[in-house]
Structure 1
């Protein structure tokens, strides 16, 4: 099930790796959406708004986890591409130890700041307690999130995207069952949805770890490699910290945007949340392509094949341009029918639809620049260049900050919705230029080796 991405025509190789990732990412979004559907229908619209109001905070937590673990796996993909088996195993062990430390720090820090953060984000008073109940449970489960992402990243680093898909589908199905048990049967409210997510991710992490231990000898460290090694820690942190910060910076921008949305009340928050869930599903092809390009870049950088890296980027851009147009059309066509899934019959859908359509239609027009961000950002990260992708996150943050602050000053919901497209345009331009610069730097690097 391992895929050597240094051989074969780039487009078929990239698509072969990407398709399982798309399926897995969509399943992940579906079970996140099931959380909101079950909460909205069985607890109420305010509960849905409460979960939605914490969405950007959850993105910050999970994004940081995904970023730092993806950074730890970059070295694994590079060493795998260079056929250095000892270094692969050593980096696996080192990344696990670093992840333990990261999980402890992130859990303590996030739990300690959550109450003031919800106040800063203008969380409406009528949903504040439910919002806190949900997000604090998510904080408790950070370790499960980190280790599922770490083990999945390790498998993808050696070209295996099928097994993480299998465990993710299992986790998604388990999450639905646990949601129904905790929220509907045991009436645990929004906290029940959080515990369902934590438990399903923890089980997936354990299954991934067992698969690596018993079925993937290329990734199984030797007994003498279970120690923090300076020669591996420094490059892993150099890759992981910028990737984590890039997610954190992006999430900070979306939190500012959420603060602007929150000013328009729980009804607007609920509609925006529902529309955002559909958008998240439709953009998973872009996310999956980014994950693919990180592995593709890492393996081909490891074997010093710059020409193949460029060919892969061209192939990915071609595929994603087509995908973005299909996603935009689907978003516009499916929005109104899908909104009814989130709310019970006593909710006035005529009041919800204008809030949702304003955000969704505006974003759908700008999926094209969004798809390029994932390709340029991840190919640079896969090649070990973390600073410029992180600064692309800064470009997003600045754009979201400016537009969101203007929307709060003018009390304009449309302007608040434009914060996402503005961020995508700014980041697309920055990462596109940065990619060209990094390719020139790599060319010079390979010429001297």
Structure 2
């Protein structure tokens, strides 16, 4: 009834249709790493968890490439379908297939060639390096499949099949969850078992996702469409750049954070390894909340892009405001768990050293103290990309991670050590929230004026 009064009924149904499968897909994607952390924590210990933490930036780089290609392609695809330019939509989809294949193979070769240097740069200590090398040598083979699945999933959602996109991710996660305990506890393969379980799940997910690309609803993809185009590549990457930069910003934060924790940790009672392992757990747990927020953002983007292309500006504004409202409710639930059920959340990852739990408890409560505000920056960045304004999206992507958090990590870490590092995140979250609100306020006013102008014209 309330939705009818506000005129948001249609937008609410559309958001549920696209966002719920997208949220499930993102949560499932996060669970790949969470499941590994849980079983490694119980089967190997916190050193194994620390190893997956220093390996995680490689996944972040992979996801940056996936999002740049996937979000950019999906946005261009939606805009062209909304404008009824079906031939152009076919070219965009075909270009994405070739671009993803080339990017996946190139990244795989680079990582395999320089892996020890990457891990050292990501904060691996001598104690952790052996575990990290074993785990990452194996998971790197899954990179091309991970890229294929993620880019295809974005296209599948843009084509109006969000449930199929969700299924692609769920299948891989189920396989990973089944194989993890078998390989770790029955075959005693340790971190290598977790790595093999992960890539087997990724391979099967990729096969299911790629199979859809020749059965689109809105277009019929032909062999002549599957070619690399400079124009389509530049256009799609420009639109997806803000999402990709957001991931690269996360990478810079991970590197800065990992190295700061090991450096200042060695001068504390916790040592170098405990802060690194605890940080990995907290960041992976937070990735579940971020998965919900990114899922809402991704569910919103094809709706906003289609309506913007069709010049239905009032519906664009409504879907943005609705997405922000849903995001805030979910973010508050996550924040409450992190602040008031910290011990319960951490206990999922097994019994560890007392100092480890003491630091992890503090780190989660302080570092995530303002996580309820993060969604405004993520959704606003994705929104500007979806309506063809990548520069604004890119600026918002840079605010929290690069412009605010990294300088705060360095400055507060220098003056206050480990405690300064923990407090840098909530300060950065609050400042980036203010910037996002300013950007969104101006754009919603602009959309309202464009809607009134369109109505007057008709």
Same fold (TM over 0.5): yes
Deviation larger for 187-196 or 316-325:
187-196
Shift of the 112–389 alpha-carbon distance from structure 1 to 2, 3 Å rule, reads farther
Shift of the 255–442 alpha-carbon distance from structure 1 to 2, 3 Å rule, reads farther
Paired residue for 2:420, among 397, 407, 415? 415
2:243 is matched with 243
Inter-partner Cα distance in structure 2 for 1:314 and 1:370: 16
Paired residue for 1:278, among 279, 285, 289? 285
Shift of the 25–121 alpha-carbon distance from structure 1 to 2, 3 Å rule, reads closer
Q: CA deviation at 1:45?
A: 2.1
Paired residue for 2:410, among 398, 402, 405? 405
Secondary structure, aligned partner of 1:354? helix
Inter-partner Cα distance in structure 2 for 1:166 and 1:208: 9
RMSD after superposition:
2.7
Inter-partner Cα distance in structure 1 for 2:320 and 2:217: 31
Q: CA deviation at 1:250?
A: 3.0
Kept in 1, the 8 Å contact 2:245–2:394? The answer is yes
Does residue 304 in structure 1 map to residue 311 in structure 2?
yes
Deviation larger for 130-139 or 438-447:
438-447
Inter-partner Cα distance in structure 2 for 1:79 and 1:206: 27
Shift of the 287–233 alpha-carbon distance from structure 1 to 2, 3 Å rule, reads closer
Secondary structure, aligned partner of 1:213? coil
Q: CA deviation at 1:378?
A: 0.8
Does residue 233 in structure 1 map to residue 237 in structure 2?
no
Q: CA deviation at 1:340?
A: 2.3
Kept in 2, the 8 Å contact 1:121–1:262? The answer is no
Shift of the 78–400 alpha-carbon distance from structure 1 to 2, 3 Å rule, reads same
Q: CA deviation at 1:205?
A: 1.2
Shift of the 192–390 alpha-carbon distance from structure 1 to 2, 3 Å rule, reads farther
Shift of the 443–282 alpha-carbon distance from structure 1 to 2, 3 Å rule, reads closer
1:253 is matched with 253
Kept in 2, the 8 Å contact 1:328–1:367? The answer is yes
Inter-partner Cα distance in structure 2 for 1:419 and 1:292: 31
Secondary structure, aligned partner of 2:157? helix
1:356 is matched with 360
Deviation larger for 112-121 or 151-160:
112-121
1:343 is matched with 350
Q: CA deviation at 1:122?
A: 3.5
Secondary structure, aligned partner of 1:47? helix
Q: CA deviation at 1:302?
A: 1.7
Q: Which sections of structure 1, spanning at least 5 residues, go unmatched?
A: 1-6
2:325 is matched with 318
Kept in 2, the 8 Å contact 1:212–1:219? The answer is no
1:352-431 mapped onto 2 (5 Å cutoff): 352-395=356-399, 396-410=401-415, 412-431=417-436
Q: CA deviation at 1:445?
A: 8.9
Inter-partner Cα distance in structure 2 for 1:60 and 1:207: 23
Inter-partner Cα distance in structure 1 for 2:16 and 2:37: 31
Inter-partner Cα distance in structure 2 for 1:279 and 1:52: 13
Q: Which sections of structure 2, spanning at least 5 residues, go unmatched?
A: 1-7, 266-271
2:218 is matched with 218
Kept in 1, the 8 Å contact 2:18–2:299? The answer is yes
Q: CA deviation at 1:126?
A: 0.5
Please, what TM-score do these two structures have when normalized by structure 2?
A: 0.87
Q: CA deviation at 1:372?
A: 0.5
Inter-partner Cα distance in structure 2 for 1:30 and 1:118: 22
Q: CA deviation at 1:236?
A: 1.7
